Amino acid sequence: MARARLVTGFAEYEPGVARQQADVLVRPAVVADLTTCAELIVTRTGGAVEARRARLEADLRDPDKYTVVAEAGGEIAGYALVLGHQISPTDPPGTAPDGYYLIGLIVAPAWRRHGIGDLLTIERMRWVAERADEVYYFANLQNGATLDLHQRFGFTEITRNFTFPNAPLKPGTCVLLRAPLSR
């Protein structure tokens, strides 16, 4: 009988595993990509694909958001987003600072270990660098794969004591990071 294993929603962390080569095109998302992107998101967060797709459609229309996809082997292999955040007067103390945030990096299981997360991060940082001198990111402390990835791109810890509007952060489980950008 197979043993059940705890699923955290993050990719299995395998530092040191060799990357495989693949031809990958990283580009802005278009409407035709959104169902696949929504399916990727739902595999990690749960929920309804239709609701996620509707939110992604709204993201495409928002000039303070940038949705990118990685296309490999004729399919969408990864998805990621940038969003602009401004503190509201009604936000609690400790809310993350104004700025652009890299969020939602998801790579399809079959395409992990191909450098797609790096490529999506590079493209999002390029986009933000046209608009700002720094970029932010927050992550669950248990997500070693994403923390290592972002450290390679110059992200350093700011705090573990913060909130972010509409993000399901539990105190003490997440870290806020920042990286400088050159314009």
Which stretch of 20-24, 56-60, 156-160 has the lowest confidence by average pLDDT?
A: 20-24
Tell how strand 99-107 and strand 65-72 pair up: unpaired
Q: Is the pLDDT of residue 12 over 60?
A: no
- Burial class of residue 74 in the structure, from the number of CB atoms within 10 Å of its CB (0-12 exposed, 13-18 middle, 19+ buried): exposed
Which pair of tokens denotes residue 147? 């923390």
Q: Across the chain, what does the average pLDDT equal? A: 87
pLDDT, mean of residues 97-102: 97
Which stretch of 44-48, 56-60, 125-129 has the lowest confidence by average pLDDT?
A: 44-48
Q: Would you state the pLDDT for residue 14?
A: 57
Taken in order of first residue, the domains within the chain and their CATH numbers are 24-180 (3.40.630.30)
- Pick the more confident residue, 38 or 17: 38
* Residue 132 pLDDT level (bands cut at 50, 70, 90): very high
Q: Would you state the pLDDT for residue 16?
A: 58
pTM: 0.85
Residue 151: name the closest of 116, 173, 178 by CA: 178
